[in-house]
Structure 1
């Protein structure tokens, strides 16, 4: 959906803090994503809920650092239309879960949830059926500055090996060292796939790949990238395709075994 249908201030971001204890986490988000910090306790005479309601339409998207109950109460009566409501991503104050709470699919909340999660190392929580019911996760590793065409070719090759379409892929996962890889970012954007970034320490702790790579161990410090990243991103999944390599790109595919068959999914 075109963002122009969503809000005239789609690119503007508000970061709402409920407590001063969230300042460090909020500053980290602002440093990476930009946006305006809201510190409602500075206006102690006005209830926070009232302050948020007055500010809600002033931003194109929101990150709330709060408990889910607080967010639900603040949003009471505000949502009007999924095509115009500013999306809201809820991040707990420990930075563990980035929940796409409102405007996930149409408003871009799901994409924002992944961006938030990648900044703070949280788990993105996506509940919209269109995205959540897709069973496949691609783990991708690549050489530096590999062309997007080579990434696309490697992905197509991997999916063909198991006879599955790109439309069944929910997300792409890679190691944090590849978080800004131009070809990978372009591939994800072109196919509207969120990129899940896994920290190198988490990949190292995963500690299992079908075939450890000496090159990756020497240059990255882990036994492999694509398999552990995909498995971490889909913890109840199974390895549908072990690492396959093509022209400097490695791809592994994990399938979420907790989901129903494709034919029975509700869109």
Structure 2
């Protein structure tokens, strides 16, 4: 949970109020409503943002990316000290890590925003973009970090954890301590998908009666990995170990 000093949530228009309140409720932060100042025009709002820019180490700007870029004009100085900036469109579809992705934590903030809103996290830093693997995971309640580590390593086989771009699971498993600890220990973002989204795309090599009974889905790890990496190929179907199920999808890349 971020406090008001950690993160600023900048609304360009009052239409974003409901979205901002959801973010504040789940993530914390201070909401800025620049239109409440009388007679302010867009140029003046840009000046307001410039004055507030250094108040927080992280920003969520709910606006078009073009607006955010214009607001930032002349403000960034150094990647080691600039605040992180994530841009979220007003429909809550895309959470873009725009500035200070690594050093400022914008990449991770983009995932946190995406997990709250159902948006797609957009990370363009080369370190993440060049990692080809997405690991889908499902687990029994209370699975330990050791159990999760063993299952992931089994599924990866000779592939390495440093090839993994993100972990993906359903909302019912978003707060599993073992899974969160695994992601923290291995510096991996966790992509959380709505169960309804997974239900709409039930790609599984073999449905599980147990998973269907417990969570109402034919499978978790395979569809999560495929949804998170839509141009990928399932290279490791569901592999289960000690109550943890893992699937691996490899991004096939862009080709002419």
TM-score range, shorter chain: over 0.9
2:74 counterpart residue number: 77
1:19 counterpart residue number: 13
**Aligned partners of 1:12, 1:49: CA distance in 2, in Å?**
21
Among candidates 18, 24, 38, match of residue 30 of structure 1: 24
Contact 1:87 1:103 in 2 (8 A): yes
1:197 counterpart residue number: 192
Q: How much has 1:60 moved relative to structure 2?
A: 1.0
Among candidates 168, 174, 192, match of residue 173 of structure 1: 168
| CA root-mean-square deviation | 1.3
1:61 counterpart residue number: 58
> Which of 199-208 and 110-119 deviates more?
199-208
Pick closer, same or farther for the CA change 1:11–1:184 going to 2, 3 Å. Answer: farther
Q: How much has 1:44 moved relative to structure 2?
A: 3.3
2:38 counterpart residue number: 44
Q: How much has 1:106 moved relative to structure 2?
A: 1.4
**Aligned partners of 1:44, 1:89: CA distance in 2, in Å?**
27
* 1:59-138 alignment, distance < 5 Å: 59-138=56-135
2:241 matches 1:251: no
DSSP-derived class of the 2:46 partner: helix
2:220 matches 1:225: yes
> Unaligned regions of 5+ residues in structure 2, if any?
none
> Unaligned regions of 5+ residues in structure 1, if any?
1-8, 261-267
4+ residue segments displaced more than 6 Å: none
Q: How much has 1:70 moved relative to structure 2?
A: 0.5
Instruction: Give the aligned length.
Output: 250
Q: Deviations over 1:65-91 (max 9, x none)?
A: 001110010000000000000000000
**Aligned partners of 2:134, 2:182: CA distance in 1, in Å?**
15
Q: How much has 1:10 moved relative to structure 2?
A: 11
DSSP-derived class of the 2:219 partner: coil
Q: Deviations over 1:189-242 (max 9, x none)?
A: 110000000110011000220010001001101100000000000000000100
The TM-score, its normalising length taken from structure 2, stands at 0.96
**Aligned partners of 2:183, 2:254: CA distance in 1, in Å?**
23
**Aligned partners of 1:25, 1:10: CA distance in 2, in Å?**
17
